[in-house]
Each structure stands twice: as structure tokens, then as C-alpha cells.
Amino acid sequence: MKNKTDSKEKILTAAAMLFQVNGYNATGLNEILKESGSPKGSLYYYFPGGKEELALEAIKLSSETIQKRLKNTLDKYSNPVEAIQSVIKNIIEDLKNDGKLKDISLSLIALETYLSIESLRKACESAFIDIQNVYTKKLIESGLSKETAQELGIFIQVIIEGAITISVTEKNSRAFLTVSKQIGILLNSYINNSTFLRGQ
């Protein structure tokens, strides 16, 4: 039973990585099988719905992995500015090391499928909301109101996703350095104002 579970996990892990790095359309089932080292018939055995079913589970796995990485980094810092700037620093380092979007972003598969495959659009939407909520939770813990933290959680994810796109296109980290600086200014302003209002 363990071998079956391991085989399914290998296929899913390979698919999650390839969909993130190459996108949905550019990733073939044979490529997934080759990457996972699995026999040809195993993919449809574990994923009878084919590529779409596999992509749905891969998006869920990717989202969970991204959230875990985010939480691990954010939890190391009590100061939310330092925490989020550390997340950005980690992304810069990852992109410098291999230039791939593995365990960083779901934007590629989201952009490719949002008009053509509704189930994958919904899965990406859910994943984005879950990732935003990680930032939101950190900001609430830092003393910001729920409403403000939710808005900033969305903003932080949007601006980081934008920086990822620009950075991989320009092949440099300039956009991230700007984002890191401006997020610091913005969050410090909100946090200082919140502290001031609580003290009145």
C-alpha cells in the first residue's frame, strides 16, 4: 500500500513542480511521468480524470507548500515588516539560484487557464485567497484591525506576484528591492498609526 501512495505522491509532486515552472499547456503527461519516474499506466490509475484532475490536486499541493513556506518565514519575526521583507528576500534568493517559480507562485497556471478551464480557475482563486490569509493573519497578530489586515494581505500578495513577473522577465531583482522598501514604508505607517490610536 505504501508503494502505491509513494507512486501517487511522486506523480503529484512532479506535476506540481512542472505546472508551476512550465505552465499547464506546456507540461505534457509523458513529461510528468518521466520526472516522477512512474510507469505509464499509473497516471490514469491514480488520476482517472486525466490532466485536469491531476492539475487540481497539484494546485492544492502547491498552495499548501507555498503557505507552509510563508508561515515558517513569517513566524520567525514578531515585526511584520521584517517578516514580509524576509519573505521577499527568500524569493529573490530562490530566483537567483535556479530562476524557476517552484514553490513561489501559481500565477503561470492561473493566467493560462482562467478563461479555458473553470475548475482550475476556481482552484487558483481558492489558493490565492488562502495565501492572502497567511499575510492577513500575521498583520492581525501585529495589532492591525481585521479589515485593514485583509486589505493589506491582498495588496501584499498582488504586489509580490507582480514583482515576480517583472523580476523573471528582466532577470534581476530590482522590482523586488523596490517592493520591499515600499512595503516597509506602508506597513510602518499603518502600524504606527494603529499604535497611536490605541494609545489615545
Q: Which domains does the chain have, with CATH numbers?
A: 2-199 (1.10.357.10)
Contact between residue 44 and residue 29 where contact means Cβ atoms under 8 Å apart = no
Per-residue pLDDT at 83:
97
Nearest to 86 by CA among 100, 98, 75, 95: 75
Is residue 63 within 8 Å of residue 106, measured between CB atoms? yes
Mean pLDDT for 117-135 is 96
Residue 22 · residue 99 · CB < 8 Å: no
Per-residue pLDDT band at 197 (split at 50, 70, 90): very low
Confidence of residue 187 (pLDDT cuts 50, 70, 90): very high
Q: Which helix H or strand E contains 169, and what residues bound it?
A: helix 146-170
User: What percent of the chain has pLDDT above 70?
Assistant: 94
Q: How many residues appear in the chain?
A: 200
Q: Distance between CA atoms of 85 and 73, rounded to whole angstroms?
A: 10
How confident is the model over 49-68, as pLDDT tens digits?
999 999 999 999 999 999 99
The alpha carbon of residue 102 and the mean position of all alpha carbons in its chain are separated, in whole angstroms, by 9
Residue 168 CA to residue 180 CA, distance in Å, equals 16
The answer to whether 26 touches 91, Cβ cutoff 8 Å, is no
CB 128 within 8 A of CB 148: no
Question: How much is the pLDDT for 30?
Answer: 93
pLDDT averaged over the chain? 91
SS3 string of 26-45?
CCCHHHHHHHHCCCCCHHHH
Residue 102 has pLDDT above 90, yes or no: no
Nearest to 140 by CA among 69, 71, 191, 73: 191
pLDDT in tens, 39-49: 888 999 999 99
The CA-to-CA distance between both ends of the chain, in Å, stands at: 62
pLDDT surpassing 50 at residue 200: no
